[in-house]
Structure 1
């Protein structure tokens, strides 16, 4: 389980990046796509703000440094963290949920 604010911000960044990823991959034509994209960006902006990121240039560098632009990086880490948090208490078979397509 995670303990520190940095880890919380890391998890929040992965969640926001995943939301952006799914909006881009599966959101076309969804009536609330713009709203969902805005919420996704707000999640990431919140994590960045708690890390002291205040300018667009700093955000861009942080986003790249955290590899939030690379789903092959953040999706497996998010999945691993969720498995650590949930443990054996899944309400469904997690192997039936695809993070990719």
Structure 2
């Protein structure tokens, strides 16, 4: 998960000098990528432009400049959407969510939908689902459904013996402990069966309902068109 922003990172500084040094480094990086962005032309590959916008957005998140982070991430999202670069679109939504703007949860809803709908890097999908686990109220079933979807998707995209699958398993175990104080295997098995976390036909629609609540009626993508295209491609 190292490629994703840790909002607490800036607080790792031991004293004010370290904080100041960190800010200096962030400003230097910001100036580098803003210069890169200003030098890009209509011939610049769209992926390069998107990635530059995302770098700026992430730096601004670290600097607690949420409005600018949102602006750059939304620009990146629009470019990614128009070019059907769905993994980058998901990363743009992640940056918008981390900016903590007024529509941050709407951005998370889009990130979740895109990262589950498209066969993108499962590490990104798990990171988005982990956001949902962290944002859901303590004891909410949504946490369990998000963790179950994470494990299900990773198992499909990476296989049972992958490190990310192990991470997703730990994610479910952690949610089970918080949700119902589950600490042993037999109780976990009962908890999993009770919530039907072994049934994709149950937990996937539950996640979909959670996403609908986050986004409401204001979708930034045409889901029907996307579904139709995926069906035509047999994905």
- 1-side partners of 2:175 and 2:147: how far apart? 9
Q: Which residue of 1 aligns with 2:169?
A: 41
Root mean square deviation of aligned Cα = 2.5
Work out the CA distance in 2 between the residues paired with 1:5 and 1:94.
30
Distance 1:91-1:42 versus aligned 2 partners, 3 A rule: farther
Using CA pairs under 8 Å that are at least 6 residues apart, name the structure with larger relative contact order, 1 or 2: 1
Hey, what does 1:5 align to over in structure 2?
Answer: 138
Aligned residues: 92
1:16 to 129, 147, 163: 147
The Cα of 1:36 is off from its aligned counterpart by: 1.4
1:72 aligned to 201, 225, 228, which one? 201
Query: Whose Rg is larger?
Result: 2
Q: TM-score, normalised by structure 1?
A: 0.74
Report the more deviating stretch, 54-63 or 13-22: 13-22
Matched, 1:83 2:218: no
Shift of 1:82: 1.0
> Is the 2:136–2:142 Cα contact (8 Å) retained in structure 1?
no
Structure with greater proportional helix content: 2
Shift in Å, 1:22 = 1.2
